[in-house]
């Protein structure tokens, strides 16, 4: 046999026999390791031109469309047209009159400004850029980030609402409190040099200390936090071309919640308000109702998005017996604080887990939780976006994990940036579709009035 030694020949034949036995013994079919029909293609050494780029081939295997302009539209459920107040604000901004403000509360993906940064970018491209919005003054979690900002802080005692030992309900707009004295400092570097205003959000309290705010080398002024206990806000104009903003505690104690970055241009301000490990109880219980009301009334949102469910999905008892009551409490609190504000309940994404078969399936409580949130939206007259269905429904995270490149991490929970862009694009398209329908209704109303 081609001059092979006898032992080598026997070894090769034995190996081929082992490979072939799975084809002739029925009970061994599941252990088949070689498809003989592929051998000719393996032995074909002629050069082949690729039919598509690796990215395009991966996208073909995956199917979901990453370009928001080509994604299939999934509309909100909003039979009461509760989002019309928000669309009115968008229409105003599109006409060059002021800013429309969105607050997006969520869990861990939004702590890195995933999904939210994608929606912000798309909306601001369409309606104008009025500013980045709110961000914290230090990193409560190593992965905390905001698109276009570089954040550093030191000397602060950091207390997220769901991890705080203080438990006084005073966590500002973003759900995190920063306490410090002389020496505590923060620096925010911005890539966009067109911001014109920075606002410091803090707690006014008896005996409160003083902060100073700097833009580069320019001292913008002091923030005095002494006073009757309550929410405090101090705004400063930024010199043209500001790339570096600093906060320094000069005398203690001070308690800061975050800063807001705005421009003078009309358009969209999209506040990304993610808290790691967050679930509905954060807004329903951990936030003090009066304090949160002060925050909401100050920021005057046109739309509040409530986007929870991933974390509680692993606790079926909580999902079935508590989540509905607490979601309704969130809606009640927002309505009481800012009655004219539109509210959107945004369901969680799919969450995957390894099944007994080894496949990646959907956590069983996710579909029930989505149905509960939809029922809450219906009962309270708020809008609802079914993120779970829009992204593909049951088993989506399994498909995303097997995609090349992967769209979700190995925990089957946290989307990779490309996966986040898909979800952000779906939300953007729903917002844009609702706005276009709103404009059509306006046009129809004007036409009817003109005819009469």
Q: Answer yes or no: do 240 and 271 share one domain.
A: no
Phi then psi for residue 155, to 5 deg, are: 85, 5
Domain holding 123: CATH number? Answer: 3.40.50.1110
Percent of the chain with pLDDT over 70: 84
Termini Cα distance of the chain: 98
Give domain status of residue 243, yes or no.
Answer: yes
Beta bridge partners of 186: 153, 247
Give domain status of residue 55, yes or no.
Answer: no
Q: Answer yes or no: do 237 and 346 share one domain.
A: no
Final residue of a structural domain among 217, 247, 265: 265
Give domain status of residue 67, yes or no.
Answer: no
Q: Answer yes or no: do 275 and 335 share one domain.
A: yes
Report helix, strand or coil for 178: strand
Residue 14 has pLDDT above 70, yes or no: no
pLDDT digit string, tens, across residues 58-100:
455 555 566 666 667 788 999 999 999 999 999 999 999 999 9
Please give the model's pTM, rounded to 2 decimal places: 0.85
pLDDT score for 7: 64
pLDDT score for 447: 82
**What's the chain's average pLDDT?**
89
Q: Count CA within 13 A, CB hemisphere, residue 438.
A: 23
pLDDT score for 46: 41
Give domain status of residue 56, yes or no.
Answer: no
Q: Answer yes or no: do 181 and 228 share one domain.
A: yes
Final residue of a structural domain among 217, 243, 265: 265
pLDDT score for 29: 37
Give domain status of residue 51, yes or no.
Answer: no
Label each residue of 144-157 as H, E or C.
CCECCEEEEEECCE
Could you tell me where the DSSP H helices lie in 206-315?
A: 281, 289-299
Spatial neighbors of 120 by CB under 8 A, at least 6 apart, are 132, 133, 147, 268, 270, 272
Residue 450 has pLDDT above 90, yes or no: no
Residue 446 has pLDDT above 90, yes or no: no
CA distance 14 to 88: 77
- Output the DSSP codes for 331-353: HHHHHHH-TT-EEEEE-----EE
Q: What is the mean pLDDT of residues 147-161?
A: 97
pLDDT digit string, tens, across residues 185-237:
999 999 999 999 999 999 999 999 999 999 999 999 999 999 999 999 999 99
Q: Answer yes or no: do 451 and 339 share one domain.
A: yes
pLDDT score for 56: 57
Residue 30 has pLDDT above 90, yes or no: no
pLDDT digit string, tens, across residues 274-332:
999 999 999 999 999 999 999 999 999 999 999 999 999 999 999 999 999 999 999 99
Residue 398 has pLDDT above 80, yes or no: yes
User: What is the number of structural domains in the chain?
Assistant: 3
Please give the residue range of the domain that contains residue 13.
6-42
Report helix, strand or coil for 28: helix
pLDDT score for 18: 53
Q: What is the mean pLDDT of residues 386-412?
A: 95
Contact (CB, 8 A) for 411 and 311:
no
Q: Answer yes or no: do 256 and 178 share one domain.
A: yes
Burial class (CB in 10 A: 0-12, 13-18, 19+), 194: middle
Q: Answer yes or no: do 388 and 433 share one domain.
A: yes
Contact (CB, 8 A) for 199 and 211:
no
Handedness of CA 87, 66, 420, 358 (dihedral sign): positive
Spatial neighbors of 233 by CB under 8 A, at least 6 apart, are 199, 200, 201, 202, 298
């Amino acid at each position: 046999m081609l001059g092979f030694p006898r032992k080598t020949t026997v070894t090769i034949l034995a190996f081929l026999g082992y490979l072939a036995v799975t084809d002739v013994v029925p009970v061994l079919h599941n252990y088949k390791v070689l498809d003989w029909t592929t051998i000719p293609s393996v032995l074909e050494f002629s050069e082949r031109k690729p039919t598509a780029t690796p990215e395009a081939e991966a996208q073909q295997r995956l199917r979901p469309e990453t370009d928001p302009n080509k994604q299939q539209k999934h509309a909100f459920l909003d039979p009461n047209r509760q989002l019309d107040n928000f669309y009115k604000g968008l229409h105003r901004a599109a006409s060059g009159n002021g800013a429309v403000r969105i607050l997006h509360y969520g869990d861990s993906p939004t702590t890195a400004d995933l999904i939210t940064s994608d929606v912000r970018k798309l909306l601001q491209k369409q309606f104008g850029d009025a500013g980045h919005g709110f961000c914290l003054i230090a990193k409560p979690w190593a992965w905390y980030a905001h698109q276009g900002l570089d954040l550093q802080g030191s000397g602060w005692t950091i207390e997220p609402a769901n991890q705080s030992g203080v438990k006084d309900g005073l966590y500002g707009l973003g759900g995190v409190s920063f306490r410090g004295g002389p020496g505590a400092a923060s620096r925010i570097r911005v890539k966009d040099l067109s911001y014109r205003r920075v606002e410091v959000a803090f707690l006014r309290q008896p005996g409160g200390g003083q902060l100073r705010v700097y833009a580069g080398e320019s001292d913008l002024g002091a923030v005095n936090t002494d006073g009757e206990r309550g929410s405090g806000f101090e705004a400063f104009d930024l010199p043209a071309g500001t790339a570096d903003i600093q906060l320094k505690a000069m005398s203690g104690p001070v308690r800061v919640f975050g800063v807001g970055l705005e421009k003078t241009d009309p358009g969209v301000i999209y506040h990304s308000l993610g808290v790691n490990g967050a679930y509905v109880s954060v807004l329903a219980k951990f936030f003090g109702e009066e304090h949160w009301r002060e925050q909401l009334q100050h920021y005057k949102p046109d739309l509040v998005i409530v986007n929870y469910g991933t974390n509680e999905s692993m606790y079926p008892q909580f999902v079935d017996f508590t989540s509905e009551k607490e979601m309704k409490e969130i809606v009640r609190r927002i309505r009481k604080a800012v009655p004219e504000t539109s509210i959107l309940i945004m369901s969680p994404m799919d969450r995957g887990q390894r099944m007994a078969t080894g496949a990646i399936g959907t956590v069983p409580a996710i579909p029930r939780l989505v149905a509960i949130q939809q029922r809450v939206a219906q009962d309270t007259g708020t809008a609802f976006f079914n993120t779970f269905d829009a992204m593909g429904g049951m088993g989506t995270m399994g498909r995303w994990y097997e995609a090349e490149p992967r769209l979700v991490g190995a925990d089957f929970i946290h989307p990779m940036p490309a996966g986040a862009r898909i979800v952000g694009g779906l939300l953007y398209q729903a917002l844009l579709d609702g706005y276009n329908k709103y404009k059509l209704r306006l046009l129809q109303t004007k036409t009817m009035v003109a005819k009469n």
